[in-house]
Structure 1
Amino acid sequence: MVAGPRGPSKNGDRRVTALQRISAAIDRLNDRIGSAIQWLALVMVVIGAFNAIARYADQYTGMSLSSNAYLDLQWYFFSLIFLMGSAYGLNHDYHVRVDVMYARLGRRARAWIDLTGSVLFLVPFAVLMFWISWGWVVRSWTILETSADPGGLPRYPIKSVVLVSFLLLLLQALSQIVKNAAILAEPVRGSARADGTGSPTETV
């Protein structure tokens, strides 16, 4: 008796499901972070406006309302938005693409491009930047680095965000790999079952 073709194993299905659940958890994490940090843009504008007005007021009142700490807060918040929002932007495809052909390609072709780019470029880049930044951040914490400007803020907390941001970017890159691999694993339009029976399936 000749055995028929075997379908996917239950263990394989469980592994795929587990990876998809992890991917969804990473997406939710970065979505929550992205939703939270978007309010920092408003706070950054308010602080900048206050500091600008305070500098003019200082000339007429003789009071020291402005401070270098406000300037530091502005670029701290900008850094948080840029760094912590990178993974959120990747998840929602908000990053600018410079190619003109990508949007004209089919779903599977785009998945191949995204998967290849994530594996060959994005994951190595995130790992490399995390490794390079590690010593830089550790040194900042060792000396408790602060701003060189009078009244400035400590530098070591914001430098730690660099490590966190590249870790989140790496996790999101892995999530994108799982999602694009799932797209490529879907049945192709016009393909029939391996045993030659059944009707052709359709691509989602």
Structure 2
Amino acid sequence: MFLLNLERVISRYSILLGKLSALLFILLLLNVFYDVLMRYVFNDVSIGMQELEWHLYAAIFLLGIPYGLATGGHVRVDLFYERLSIKGKAWIDLFGCILFLIPFAVLVAYYGVGFATEAFKLGETSGDPGGLPYRWIIKAVIPFAFFSIAISGIGMLLRCINAIRGLSKAGFDHEPIQH
């Protein structure tokens, strides 16, 4: 029962990041609308607003990955996977998490901390006039997102263990994942 509860807590965290990603998407839409309006109606361009577009896009993408993992929306090669039993699918996902997902996410997160810290210490800003200051903020999203991907990977690992133990079919047999 402990593993099921821990899986649900991690899943809620990943779902929260998905909601944050959706909110950032709305902000991106407003930003693009503003940018287009200013450019074509008022003939005015803001480098800062254009840079904010790719900052928001990067954050949306990076924070949406844990949500995709938690809800089973990530990409798989389904050549054999779809024909397997629930336990077979769980074993494949379990090994994928242990061998690929979690080590890669932890590695990128670990090195991303130094990347963001260096940008903070240097006071890195945009190289373009009128660009955004505080480049470290978007760079800090990288390790945060990858640590969150690792946490979501642990949730996926727990979901696999629970499925192998016969405690849950969520995410493997077209049964919705509990949030």
**TM-score bin (small chain):** 0.7 to 0.9
Query: Which blocks of at least 5 consecutive residues in structure 1 are unaligned?
Result: 1-16, 60-64, 188-203
Identity value in percent: 32
Give the structure 2 partner of residue 76 of structure 1: 55
Q: 1:185, 1:168 → 2: CA distance?
A: 26
* The one of 52, 69, 75 aligned to 2:36: 52
RMSD: 1.8
Cα deviation for residue 93 of structure 1 reads 1.3
How many equivalent pairs are there?
A: 167
| Stretches of structure 2 lacking an aligned partner (at least 5 in a row) | 168-174
Q: TM-score, normalised by structure 2?
A: 0.86
Kindly indicate whether the alpha-carbon contact (under 8 Å) linking 2:66 and 2:149 is maintained by their aligned counterparts in 1.
yes
- Deviating beyond 3 angstroms after TM superposition, the runs of 4 or more aligned structure 1 residues are none
Rounded to whole Å, the distance in 2 between the matches of 1:30 and 1:186 is 23
Determine the C-alpha separation between the residues in 2 that align with 1:160 and 1:77. 13
Amino acid in structure 2 at the alignment position of 1:133: G
Q: How far did residue 172 of structure 1 move?
A: 0.8
Which of 16, 25, 37 matches 1:41?
25
State the Cα deviation string for residues 169-194 of structure 1 (Å, max 9, x = none).
1111111111111111129xxxxxxx
Identify the structure with the greater helix proportion: 2
Per the TM alignment, residue 79 of structure 1 is displaced from its structure 2 partner at its CA by 0.9
| Contact kept? 2:21, 2:61, Cα under 8 Å | no
Cα distance, 1:69–1:117 mapped onto 2, change above 3 Å: same
Matches within 5 A, 1:133-144: 133-144=112-123
| Residues 17 and 66, structure 2, Cα contact 8 Å, conserved in 1 | no
* In structure 1, C-alpha distance between the alignment counterparts of 2:74 and 2:12, rounded to whole Å: 18
Question: What is the TM-score when the length of structure 1 is the normalising length?
Answer: 0.76
Which structure would you say has the larger Rg?
1
Report deviation, 1:43. Answer: 2.3
- Tell me if the contact between 2:90 and 2:163 (Cα under 8 Å) persists in the aligned partners: yes
Q: Using the TM superposition, give the Cα deviation of residue 50 of structure 1 relative to its aligned residue in structure 2, in angstroms.
A: 2.0
Question: Whose RCO is larger (CA < 8 A, sep 6+)?
Answer: 2
Secondary structure at the counterpart of residue 29 of structure 1: helix
Letter in 2 for 1:172: S
Q: Which residue of 1 aligns with 2:130?
A: 151
Partner AA of 1:83 in structure 2: L
Q: Which residue in 2 is equivalent to 1:3?
A: none
